[in-house]
Structure 1
Amino acid sequence: MSESTASQTGLRYWEKQTSAGHRVSGYHSEPSDRPVIHFVHGNGYNGLVYWPLLRRLGEHYDLFISDIQGHGESEANGHFKGWNQTSLLCEEVWRDYRHLWPDQPHYGMGHSFGGIMTAFMMARAPSLFTRSVLLDPIIFSKRMLLMMKVGTFLGLWQRNSFAQKTRQRRSHWLDRETAYQSLEGRGMFKGWEPEALQSYVDFALKDTGEGIELKCPAELEAEIFSGFPRGLWRTLKKVRTPTHVIYGESTYDFVRDSVARWDGFNEWISTERVSGGHCFMQQQPEDTTKRVLKALGQHKV
């Protein structure tokens, strides 16, 4: 699948054995003299699910797409390593590959869960990226985090609504056409552009010989929803990389409130509200591309 995907997108496949013991992988452009965007996906997706956005950005920048544990072609290898360790592994991978672009600016970018991975990377190493654009980062409020900590201690948070819905969601179909028809206009896919939904069907599903199924195991995705980033707000205070946050006007209430709070106390953060929901970039990839280009263009190279 990796070879056919590389041929389909024009990207190179890469893989690396992490210090945590599992293999992760992804794709990158042929290195050139252009700046490079390092991209991390949301939970349950993988980088190429965002191909309608990334291929447009690829007309202006090189791309490095990093798929975390159990997503895309990366190994699941048991239980989820946790939000904090996963961000360390994302950094570990990037430090192994960033030399391919020795004299070009490096830009960080991520959606939802991937936005938090990128924020943690920047907080630990402010010079890792020249600037960043985060798309609807899943920033939990302090109150939610307290509830998660208490709920985890009591064994309740592991059965939260996000995790439960994930475990109950359909994960097998007869073929890709059936999957597309089944998902179109439903749940989180409501309002997605046809090319975005097709990218999900093409890249988030795998052939089994008896049909197709989700690449990301439902239990692993649920584990991610059952966890949370430790020290989130302390970390957000440490971000010193110019960062532009774009969020959907109809996203989760806590995301809108948390983005405003972050913008209020960290001078390195700017924000922008756009039409659409948590996956606005899949609903309007052309518009999102223009906004990302504008945000990255604010930096004079």
Structure 2
Amino acid sequence: MADELFMKTEIHFTHANGIPAQSYQKFFTYFQDEFDLKSIPMIGMNPQYPITHDWRYLVDQIIDDVEQQFQGRKVVGLGHSFGSLLTLMSAYKRPDLFSQLVIMDPPFVIGSKSAMFEIAKKLKLKAIDQFTPAGITLKRTDHWKDHAHAYTSMRHNQLFRHFDETCFQDFLSYGLQEDTERGGLTLTVPKVIEAEIFRTVPAWWWRTPRKAPVVPVHLISANKSPFYKQGFPQGIQKTYQINYSLMQGGHMFPLEQPEKTAELVKHIIAQQKK
């Protein structure tokens, strides 16, 4: 009878740009005893939800996935980077789907920079590739002979060098796929898709109401994250009254420190329930 009465808290997770959800499997394991965590496998690859300048269809993809996977039950919205911003945008549009949010290092463009960024996007200026990681993304190697060569090529570059080893191995398993044209392996999320997502990060926050969604929301950043260094979490706290916590590490902290990150997320969820 006690088991029947016990209902696990439900979490909907959305991944970072270019990092399929299954890459986070080790992070997910720390939730399995207390939570029912479901994730959206991949964002940006479904033609029914195209990438546009305001991400409206990607937001719809999150909303549709929550509705399909949880059948009307409210969820904790959890996301990382690009995925956390989509989760936040979904909560503004459909707050009835969420009980609370934990957003991990969102690329939340605010203040005077947001207006300049929006202009650069609309005029399709080449400068947009300097404002975002799009330019670097397009220069990335995206073809390898096999997993061993991919490991050697990527393990020590800036993005992956601090990844937990299991998380990195999971990324190799799910972030790479067979290259049907060239042979060998290529990225599961093509770099042109990843770059287009970076180029279209919404910068419309300067036109929105200066308040958080109606559901509780907490932001986690990291001391070496470029977003923290640029003052994004601090600005969000001041303008939107969204509080934040700080991890040690870089922008990819859920995959660098999966256990510590999961423990902090669970603590925040418990605090926001009170």
TM-score per shorter chain, which class?
0.7 to 0.9
Q: Is the 8 A contact 2:17 2:197 kept in 1?
A: yes
Match of 2:3 in 1: none
Deviation at 1:203, TM superposition (A): 1.0
Match of 2:106 in 1: 137
Deviation at 1:147, TM superposition (A): 2.0
Match of 2:165 in 1: 194
Pairing 1:175-214 to 2, within 5 Å after superposition: 175-208=146-179, 210-214=183-187
Letter in 1 for 2:65: V
Q: Is the 8 A contact 2:221 2:245 kept in 1?
A: yes
Q: Is the 8 A contact 2:52 2:200 kept in 1?
A: no
Q: Is the 8 A contact 1:79 1:220 kept in 2?
A: no
Distance in 2, matches of 1:235 and 1:127, equals 18
Q: Is the 8 A contact 2:77 2:102 kept in 1?
A: yes
Letter in 2 for 1:175: D
Letter in 1 for 2:252: C
* Runs of 4+ displaced beyond 4 Å: 76-79, 253-256
Q: Tell me which of the two structures has the higher relative contact order, counting C-alpha pairs closer than 8 angstroms and 6 or more residues apart.
A: 2
Mean alpha-carbon deviation: is it higher for 123-132 or for 142-151? 142-151
User: Relative to structure 1, is the Cα distance of residues 95 and 202 closer, same or farther in structure 2, using a 3 angstrom cutoff?
Assistant: same
Deviation at 1:51, TM superposition (A): 1.5
Q: Is the 8 A contact 1:48 1:203 kept in 2?
A: yes
Q: TM-score, normalised by structure 1?
A: 0.79
Counterpart secondary structure, 2:95 = coil
| Deviation string, structure 1 residues 209-232 (Cα, Å, up to 9, x no partner) | 621110111111111111121522
Match of 2:116 in 1: 147
CA RMSD of aligned residues (A): 2.4
Deviation at 1:192, TM superposition (A): 1.1
Counterpart secondary structure, 2:186 = strand
Q: Is the 8 A contact 1:247 1:256 kept in 2?
A: no
Letter in 2 for 1:120: M
User: Relative to structure 1, is the Cα distance of residues 238 and 286 closer, same or farther in structure 2, using a 3 angstrom cutoff?
Assistant: closer
User: Relative to structure 1, is the Cα distance of residues 287 and 154 closer, same or farther in structure 2, using a 3 angstrom cutoff?
Assistant: same
Distance in 2, matches of 1:264 and 1:228, equals 21
Deviation at 1:260, TM superposition (A): 1.4
Distance in 1, matches of 2:64 and 2:249, equals 33
Distance in 1, matches of 2:221 and 2:228, equals 12
User: Relative to structure 1, is the Cα distance of residues 128 and 197 closer, same or farther in structure 2, using a 3 angstrom cutoff?
Assistant: same
| Aligned counterpart for 1:219 among listed residues 168, 185, 192 | 192
Counterpart secondary structure, 2:96 = coil
Distance in 2, matches of 1:78 and 1:92, equals 10
Q: TM-score, normalised by structure 2?
A: 0.87
Pairing 1:26-41 to 2, within 5 Å after superposition: 33-41=7-15
Deviation at 1:299, TM superposition (A): 4.1
Distance in 1, matches of 2:249 and 2:195, equals 25
